[in-house]
Structure 1
Amino acid sequence: MLRRALSNLISNAIRHTHQGHTVQVSLATHGDKAIVLVENPGMEIPVEHLPRLFDRFYRVDPSRQCKGDGAGLGLAIVKSIVDAHAGSITVTSTNLVTRFQLTLPTLAK
């Protein structure tokens, strides 16, 4: 399931990154947490939309109903998967960079 969540985030990042720019994915640990960042340069998402991005069928621009543009479920699926793994997900969009941060518990040894 985590593979699906990462695939959705990376696919979205690629779709919203202008040609010639790079999507960055990084992984770090902090204590007993694993942190995955998916960052892409591009247009900023207006702050009033950020809290609703993980809602089913929500689109920042409802006029973008083009074929192949998705159904507005990808980020809702990501949130459900992260929740099922006792994690959290946040999003920021500033300085022409959108950043999704997944925080997941690491396995106890």
Structure 2
Amino acid sequence: MVIDKTGYEHLIQFLAENLSLFEQPGDPAANHKTVGEFLEERIAEQIIQLCTQHSELEMNHRSIIIREVDGIMYDFQEVLASVLEQPVTLEQAELINETALLIKNLFDNAIADLFD
């Protein structure tokens, strides 16, 4: 649905281009979450919102989305493995929020194509 599209490749490239943000020390965000926890929560929130907004999705479509999100999380955890347990900084939280929105956007576009 999205993992095999160029948009996903661009998303991974975007994350790779911003890896230095995860290598720099910074002020921890007030939420006391790790990078891994924050990433999982933000992506989960966006996917829940996606499924809520697209009530026309059938169960098989939702299953595909969940499998792809699992793959996306795996890819991101591989890229960010060395920092997953570190406290998320404000700058990292902003990047993760933006990334989660981009993931939702990829799925929104794929769903639109699916029903066109």
Return the TM-score normalized by structure 2: 0.29
Higher relative contact order (CA 8 A, sep 6+): 2
Return the TM-score normalized by structure 1: 0.30
The structure carrying a bigger strand percent of its residues is 1
The structure carrying a bigger helix percent of its residues is 2
